[in-house]
Amino acid sequence: MRAAEALRGAAARLASVSDSPRLDAELLLAHALGLPRNDLLLRQHDLDAPPTYDAFVERRLGYEPVAYIIGARDFWTISLAVTPDVLIPRPDSETLIEAAVAHFLVRSPATILDLGTGSGALLLAALDQWPQARGLGVDISPAALDVARGNADRLGMGDRADFAPGDWGEGIEGCFDLMLINPPYIARDVPLARDILREPHGALFAGLEGLDDYRRIAPQLPRLIAPGGMAAIEIGFDQRDSVSALLHAQGLDVAVHRDLAGHDRCLVATRKL
């Protein structure tokens, strides 16, 4: 079957499980062919769909996320390997990098701390943005740290990125110019799409209100943020006031940044002057 026909058929089938069935179909076929998606689209009338494509579509019909099937996800300026051991990086989280770029303007942070690093997405995106910086990624999951280390090595950043097991900022010494934090923030009773539920629950849910991890992180920030530095903290769209209150209680100044959809997505915490 020609690729163009296979794409039409797969997109029609995937409409029952995906909000972006055509894109899913294209990404899966590009992966099956070992081609960039743009090349597939240019050559779709000349290429045949390989036998492996049907298997990929069936996995997606079982609500397995596309990123897990193809094993990769683009984020900011980099491409990352992802596995079911890590949360899939999302465009919303790029708001944290945008907030950091706005804060530092023409200067560069020298030291970066990424708490709950997962795949290493935020840390490695920041290190790509600021080639002179060094960073530390912390995660409680050994499997996630393995993924992050592999990404750092593939991106040629292994000499600037260290990774260590840890429970948020506990036991970390020193202070950092830039902190990047994307904790779990979904309330435990919130219904989620079936494909999202395939991601690590420890990276998604945070107690009855979705605030459990913020309550632990906020008291750690004053000693970890360097003078003139900042912490960029991802929040749920309705958590601006509740998380800001936790940060204000620690004597921090707080500003909000919105994502491309216009939702409150990132709180920037800084030490008072």
Q: What is the C-alpha to C-alpha distance for residues 125 and 119, in angstroms, rounded to an integer? A: 11
Give yes or no: residues 114 and 57 share one domain: no
Give yes or no: residues 56 and 164 share one domain: no
Give yes or no: residues 144 and 267 share one domain: yes
Reported as a single tens digit per residue, the pLDDT across 20-57 is: 999 999 999 999 999 999 999 999 999 999 999 999 99
Q: CATH code at 244? A: 3.40.50.150
Q: Which pLDDT does position 273 carry in this prediction? A: 74
pTM of the complete model = 0.95
Give yes or no: residues 160 and 38 share one domain: no
Give yes or no: residues 48 and 160 share one domain: no
Q: Which pLDDT does position 167 carry in this prediction? A: 96
192 token code pair: 């989620």
Residue 171 placed within a domain: yes
Q: What angle do CA 123, 32, 68 make, to 5 degrees?
A: 35
Give yes or no: residues 56 and 121 share one domain: no
Question: Whole domain around residue 129: which residue ranges?
Answer: 84-271
Q: What is the C-alpha to C-alpha distance for residues 217 and 11, in angstroms, rounded to an integer? A: 42
Number of domains within the chain: 2
Helix H or strand E segment including 126? helix 121-129
Burial readout 134-167 (b: 16 or more C-beta within 10 A, e: otherwise): bbbbbbebeebbebbbbbbeebebeebbebeebe
Arithmetic mean of pLDDT, 123-148: 98
From residue 222, alpha-carbon distances to 88, 178, 230 in Å are 29, 13, 10
Give yes or no: residues 96 and 28 share one domain: no
Give yes or no: residues 16 and 151 share one domain: no
pLDDT band for position 225 (cuts 50, 70, 90) = very high
Q: CATH code at 58? A: 1.10.8
Give yes or no: residues 178 and 211 share one domain: yes
From residue 213, alpha-carbon distances to 24, 106, 225 in Å are 33, 32, 18
Give yes or no: residues 125 and 197 share one domain: yes
- Mean pLDDT across the chain, nearest whole number? 97
The answer to whether residue 123 scores a pLDDT higher than 90 is yes
Residue 156 placed within a domain: yes
Q: Which pLDDT does position 163 carry in this prediction? A: 98
The answer to whether residue 106 scores a pLDDT higher than 90 is no
Residue 71 placed within a domain: no
Q: What is the C-alpha to C-alpha distance for residues 160 and 126, in angstroms, rounded to an integer? A: 11
Give yes or no: residues 38 and 118 share one domain: no
